[in-house]
Amino acid sequence: MKALSPNQIACLLPVTILVHQLEEYYGQFPLWYSKLLNAQLSIQDFIIINGIGLFIFTAFALSYIFYKNNLILAALGTLVFVNGTIHLLLSVFTITYSPGTISGVVLFIPLGIIIYRKIFPKLGEGERIMAIAIGVIALFSVSLIAMNI
């Protein structure tokens, strides 16, 4: 089997995000999230946040295709890997199904590992740290927005 090229990985990322968002939507993530964190995340707010997120994520994935900036792809890979890992850990620690866990484990974590193996070696140490920081900060910014709506 031929390994995925970075361009193919960049094209897969928005698709995996959409699959993940659909799993969260149909799994009633806003209700699960609101109960877990005593928040008030409505379905409408969830759709708006995820629509904007999908647009931005797709724009960054496309920018990688046009500009070949490995930092962008590494940051996106970090975001999906951490997101998938958090869903898995939350399912384990709460002994509930965190909507998004299946796509997180089946798509996000493996894609994050592929990006880590393929792209991170092409980055300098400072760029690696920056990619990880950008991915983690972006993910937690979305969570903070969702908690405070």
Q: Which two tokens stand for residue 3?
A: 């390994």
What is residue 3's predicted lDDT score, i.e. its pLDDT? 87
**Hey, is 42 helix, strand or coil?**
coil
What is residue 55's predicted lDDT score, i.e. its pLDDT? 96
Dihedral sign computed on CA atoms, order 33, 98, 88, 124:
negative
**Hey, is 32 helix, strand or coil?**
helix
- Give residue-wise pLDDT tens across range 11-51: 999 999 999 999 999 999 999 999 998 889 999 999 999 99
The residue extents of the domains of the chain are 6-147
pLDDT greater than 70 at residue 86: yes
Give me the chain's average pLDDT, please.
95
Amino acid found at 81? F
- pTM, whole model, 2 decimals? 0.94
pLDDT-derived band of residue 109, with 50, 70 and 90 as boundaries?
Answer: very high
How far is Cα 56 from Cα 48, in angstroms, rounded to an integer? 12
pLDDT greater than 90 at residue 104: yes
